[in-house]
């Protein structure tokens, strides 16, 4: 039961998310109402872009860290918001029409997913809509002067540079705003520090954001000379990007699942108690977040925590109960060494191997932070062994704190206390 509580994301939406979704909902209603009242300007273009947005939503994907993205949809929204003219005819649609086309496209593209039981992440959807709308509201009023410059008849082909500059600046600002919203949301959701969350989001969003932004501008400009042929043609470079990212996200997810699954061999072999590796890894990641670790470090920490007992496979007989905190230190060190040896054989997870190897080090040997976290989390789980009893948790924490001076890092134990308190609070509620 406890395990479930540790993993479960807050099922309800927090207030920030609700605000986001309400804002997006109101925008949608306003956009659709306005467009219905005024009539659709240039319906052919609107439908073309709407279809592209829907197709992009259909092909949405989940990036590492459970982030839902829809690159083609976002790029098409940007393109529609930035449109100056289509085949030489000025594009005169309003910002509210952009909102309406985006919302209808997103809803249409989300329906097939919904039909097979994969509801969209409402907050991610709302973020995409809001980002596109912000851009539209900022840019649409400028289309008049920019369009005149671009179609200036004095020059044979007009002057497109001011338009390009404005587009680039606004898209950058929009992407930055999106990152900040995403980071705020993430900081609330997984309780990580805001600064760390911003850096994590930038690391994740920068490459894809650059590709999407460039494609959006490309689409807006290509529509001038290529007319509607631009829509299918533009999809080609972005489709390649999308395929590459889908593969990347897929292997990342599989990797994590596999390490999580195979870490259970120690349980099946009777070396540790059922659920031990999983609990230690969850507790470790929570502590790591509390200590302000960034996502790449957290991933290493999680792998190391999942595999911290893998060295036991090389033992002749399982230690009774698998309680390594009670085993003699020399043997614990040997297990750590053997485990690191196994992980080093992968040839890639050197950082993880090092963390596992030094998980028994005392503070005097100044082990890496991740090793200290695993040592404390492991000891805690050995003492409590998955029980949800508050007194037992308090006793275990007390014991670690008493040892804190020499064996366990006091800072780590402090962070663990906060994490465990929070969990106990959740349990009580």
Count other C-beta atoms under 10 Å from residue 210's C-beta.
Answer: 14
- Site map for another protein, 79-98, x if CB under 8 A? --------xx----------
240 in contact with another protein (CB under 8 A): yes
Strand partners, 61: 69
8 in contact with another protein (CB under 8 A): no
268 in contact with another protein (CB under 8 A): yes
Binding another protein by CB under 8 A: which of 43, 162, 248, 418? 248
DSSP secondary structure string for all residues of 355-409: HHHTTT--GGG---HHHHHHHHHHHHHHHHTT---HHHHHHHHHHHHHHTTTTS-
Q: Which of 288, 295, 326 is nearest to 411 (CA)?
A: 288
299 in contact with another protein (CB under 8 A): no
Size of the chain, expressed as the number of residues it contains: 429
Find the largest Cα–Cα distance for the chain. Answer: 88
- Whether the CB-CB separation of 379 and 369 falls below 8 Å is answered with no
Binding another protein by CB under 8 A: which of 32, 166, 313, 325? 313
- 332-361 binders of another protein (CB under 8 A): 342-343, 345-349
194 in contact with another protein (CB under 8 A): no
Binding another protein by CB under 8 A: which of 19, 173, 261, 326? 261
161 in contact with another protein (CB under 8 A): yes
What's the DSSP call for residue 12? S
Residue 342 CB, nearest approach to another protein (Å): 4
146 in contact with another protein (CB under 8 A): no
Residue 136 CB, nearest approach to another protein (Å): 20
Count other C-beta atoms under 10 Å from residue 366's C-beta.
Answer: 11
217 in contact with another protein (CB under 8 A): yes
169 in contact with another protein (CB under 8 A): no
Residue closer to another protein by CB (options 25, 318) is 318
CA dihedral 140, 145, 149, 152 (to 10 degrees): 110
- Whether the CB-CB separation of 46 and 76 falls below 8 Å is answered with no
Count other C-beta atoms under 10 Å from residue 148's C-beta.
Answer: 14
- Whether the CB-CB separation of 103 and 31 falls below 8 Å is answered with yes
Count other C-beta atoms under 10 Å from residue 412's C-beta.
Answer: 24
Residue closer to another protein by CB (options 32, 222) is 222
Distance between CA atoms of residues 20 and 417, nearest Å: 33
329 in contact with another protein (CB under 8 A): no
- The residues binding another protein (CB under 8 A) are 87-88, 150, 157-158, 160-161, 164, 207-208, 210-212, 214-215, 217-218, 221-222, 224-227, 229-230, 233-234, 236-241, 243-245, 247-248, 250-255, 257-262, 264-265, 268-270, 310, 313-314, 316-317, 342-343, 345-349
């Amino acid at each position: 039961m406890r395990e479930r509580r540790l993993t479960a994301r807050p099922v309800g939406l927090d207030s920030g998310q609700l605000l986001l979704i309400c804002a997006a909902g109101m925008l949608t209603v306003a956009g659709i109402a306005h467009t219905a009242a005024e009539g659709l300007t240039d319906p052919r273009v609107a439908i073309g872009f709407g279809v592209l947005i829907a197709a992009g939503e259909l092909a949405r994907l989940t990036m590492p860290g459970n982030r839902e993205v829809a690159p083609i949809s976002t790029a098409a929204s940007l393109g529609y918001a930035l449109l100056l003219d289509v085949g030489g005819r000025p594009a005169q649609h309003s910002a509210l029409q952009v909102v309406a086309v985006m919302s209808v496209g997103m809803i249409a593209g989300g329906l097939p997913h919904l039909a097979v039981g994969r509801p969209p992440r409402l907050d991610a959807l709302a973020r995409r809509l809001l980002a596109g709308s912000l851009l539209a509201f900022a840019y649409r009023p400028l289309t008049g002067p920019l369009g005149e410059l671009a179609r200036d008849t004095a020059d044979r082909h007009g002057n497109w540079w001011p338009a390009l500059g404005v587009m680039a600046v606004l898209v950058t600002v929009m992407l930055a705003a999106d990152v900040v919203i995403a980071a705020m949301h993430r900081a609330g959701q997984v309780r990580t520090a805001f600064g760390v969350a911003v850096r994590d989001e930038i690391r994740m969003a920068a490459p894809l954001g650059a590709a999407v932004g460039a494609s959006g501008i490309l689409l807006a400009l290509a529509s001038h000379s290529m007319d509607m042929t631009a829509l299918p043609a533009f999809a080609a470079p972005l489709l390649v990007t999308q395929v590459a990212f889908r593969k990347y996200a897929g292997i990342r997810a599989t990797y994590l699942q596999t390490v999580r699954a195979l870490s259970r061999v120690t349980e099946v072999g009777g070396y540790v108690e059922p659920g031990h590796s999983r609990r230690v890894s969850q507790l470790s990641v929570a502590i790591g977040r509390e200590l302000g670790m960034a996502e790449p470090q957290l991933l290493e920490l999680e792998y190391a925590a999942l595999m911290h007992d893998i060295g036991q496979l090389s033992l002749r007989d399982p230690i009774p109960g698998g309680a390594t905190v009670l085993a003699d230190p020399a043997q614990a060190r040997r297990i750590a060494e053997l485990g690191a040896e196994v992980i080093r054989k992968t040839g890639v997870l050197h950082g993880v191997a090092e963390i596992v190897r030094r998980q028994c080090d005392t503070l005097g040997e100044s082990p890496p932070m991740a090793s200290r976290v695993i040592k404390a989390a492991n000891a805690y789980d050995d003492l409590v062994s998955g029980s949800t009893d508050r007194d037992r948790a308090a006793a275990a924490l007390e014991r670690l704190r008493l040892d804190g001076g020499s064996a366990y890092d006091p800072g780590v134990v402090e962070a663990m206390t906060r994490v465990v308190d929070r969990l106990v609070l959740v349990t009580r509620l």
